[in-house]
Homo-oligomer: A and B are copies of this chain.
Amino acid sequence: MMKAAKHVLVAGGAGFIGSHLCAALLERGHTVTCLDNMQTARPENLARLKASPRFSFVRADVTAPLPDDVTTPARPFDRIYNLACAASPPQYQRDPEHTLLTSVDGTRSLLRLAERMGARFLLSSTSEVYGDPDSHPQAEDYRGNVNCIGPRACYDEGKRAAEALTFDFGRLSRAEVRVARIFNTYGPHMHPDDGRVVSNFLCQILRGQDITIYGSGEQTRSFCYVSDMVAGLLALMEAPGQVVGPVNLGNPNEITIAELVDIAFAVTGFDVPVRYEALPEDDPQRRRPNIDLARKLLSWEPQVPLQDGLRATADYFADLLSRSNAARSSPVKTERREDQVAFVAQ
Contact = CB atoms under 8 A, between A and B. Distances in A.
B246 A149 contact: yes
A131 B143 contact: yes
Contacts of A97: 108, 165, 168-169
A157 B161 CA distance: 5
A20 interface: no
A146 interface: yes
Copies of this chain per assembly: 2
Nearest to A151: B171
| Prevailing SS type, chain A contact patch | helix
Contacts of A168: 96-97, 100, 153-154
Interface in A146-167: 146-151, 153-154, 156-158, 160-161, 163-165, 167
Contact of A160 (B157, B165, B169): B157
A170 to B, nearest CB: 9
A87 B184 CA distance: 36
14 contacts: A96-B164, A97-B108, A100-B164, A100-B168, A104-B104, A104-B105, A105-B105, A131-B143, A146-B160, A148-B161, A151-B171, A153-B163, A154-B165, A158-B164
A129 B160 CA distance: 12
Contacts of A179: 149
Interface of A: 96-97, 100-101, 104-105, 108, 129, 131, 143-151, 153-154, 156-158, 160-161, 163-165, 167-169, 171-172, 179, 245-246
A164 B169 contact: no
B165 A100 contact: yes
A108 B144 CA distance: 25
A157 B154 contact: no
B131 A153 contact: no
A161 B129 contact: no
Contacts of A154: 164-165, 168
B158 A148 contact: no
A131 B147 CA distance: 13
B167 A149 contact: yes
A143 B156 CA distance: 13
Nearest to A93: B168
